[in-house]
C-alpha cells in the first residue's frame, strides 16, 4: 500500500503525546509507538508502554510486534528537541515499516520530521 500521508488528527495526537509523556517527577521522557495505515493514510498509533530509550524500545517492540499488514512505520519523541534519528533509531527503523516520525518540543505543528529507513528526511503530507 502506498502511503499518501498522515491524518491531521493523528499528528495532533502524536504532538500531544510528546508534550505530555512524563515520568513520575514530571520530566519529559520519550514515548514510542507503531504507526498503522488504512487506505494509504497513517491514522493510528499503537503505543509501546514503558519505553524510555531507543535501545530499550527496540527490544520491547520486537516482543510486542502486532501481526499486522497495516504497519506503516514508527513514531517516537526526542525530548531533547533534536529532530534527527540516532544510530540506535536507524537500527530500529530497519526492522519495521517505511515511515518513521520523530516529534520534539515545543510540539507545535512544525516540530516533527518524517524519515525513511535509511534516515533520509521524507516529505509526508498532512491530510484533513
Ligand atoms: Zn530517537
Query: What is the CATH number for 92?
Result: 3.40.140.10
Position 85 in a domain: yes
CB atoms within 5 A of ion ligand 1 belong to 54, 86, 89
Is the link from the previous residue into 83 a cis peptide, with omega within 30 of 0? no
pLDDT, tens digit only, all 128 positions of the chain: 689 999 999 999 999 999 998 888 888 888 889 999 999 999 999 887 666 555 555 556 666 666 677 999 999 999 999 999 999 899 889 888 999 999 999 998 889 999 999 999 999 999 99
Confidence (pTM): 0.88
Instruction: Domain count for the chain, please give it.
Output: 1
Within a domain: 47: yes
What's the rounded Cα separation, in Å, for the pair 41 and 106?
25
Separation CA 108–CA 59 (nearest Å): 29
Distance 24 CA to ligand 1 centre (A): 21
The whole-angstrom separation of Cα 6 and Cα 60 is 25
- 77, β-bridge pairs: 103
| Residue 30 among the catalytic residues | yes
Q: Is residue 15 part of a domain?
A: yes
From CA 27, how far away is CA 11, in angstroms rounded?
A: 22
88 assigned to some structural domain = yes
Distance (angstroms) between ligand 1 centre and the Cα of 117 equals 13
Contact criterion met (CB below 8 Å) for 70 and 116 = no
- How many angstroms is it from 91 CA to the middle of ligand 1? 10
Give me ligand 1 centre to Cα 44, in Å: 20
- Residue-range definition of the domain harbouring residue 44: 5-123
In a domain? residue 128: no
Per-residue DSSP letter, 28: B
For residue 81, give the C-alpha cell: 528537541
Amino acid at each position: 500500500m502506498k502511503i499518501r500521508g498522515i491524518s491531521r488528527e493523528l499528528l495532533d495526537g502524536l504532538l500531544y503525546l510528546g508534550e505530555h509523556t512524563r515520568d513520575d517527577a514530571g520530566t519529559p521522557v520519550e514515548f514510542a509507538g507503531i504507526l498503522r495505515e488504512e487506505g494509504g493514510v497513517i491514522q493510528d498509533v499503537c503505543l509501546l508502554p514503558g519505553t524510555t530509550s531507543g535501545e530499550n524500545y527496540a527490544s520491547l517492540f520486537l516482543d510486542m510486534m502486532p501481526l499486522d499488514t497495516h504497519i506503516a512505520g514508527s513514531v517516537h519523541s526526542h525530548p531533547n528537541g533534536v529532530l534527527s534519528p540516532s544510530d540506535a533509531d536507524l537500527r530500529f527503523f530497519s526492522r519495521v515499516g517505511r515511515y518513521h516520525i520523530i516529534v520534539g518540543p515545543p510540539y507545535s505543528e512544525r516540530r516533527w520530521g518524517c524519515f525513511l529507513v535509511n534516515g533520509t528526511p521524507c516529505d509526508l503530507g498532512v491530510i484533513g
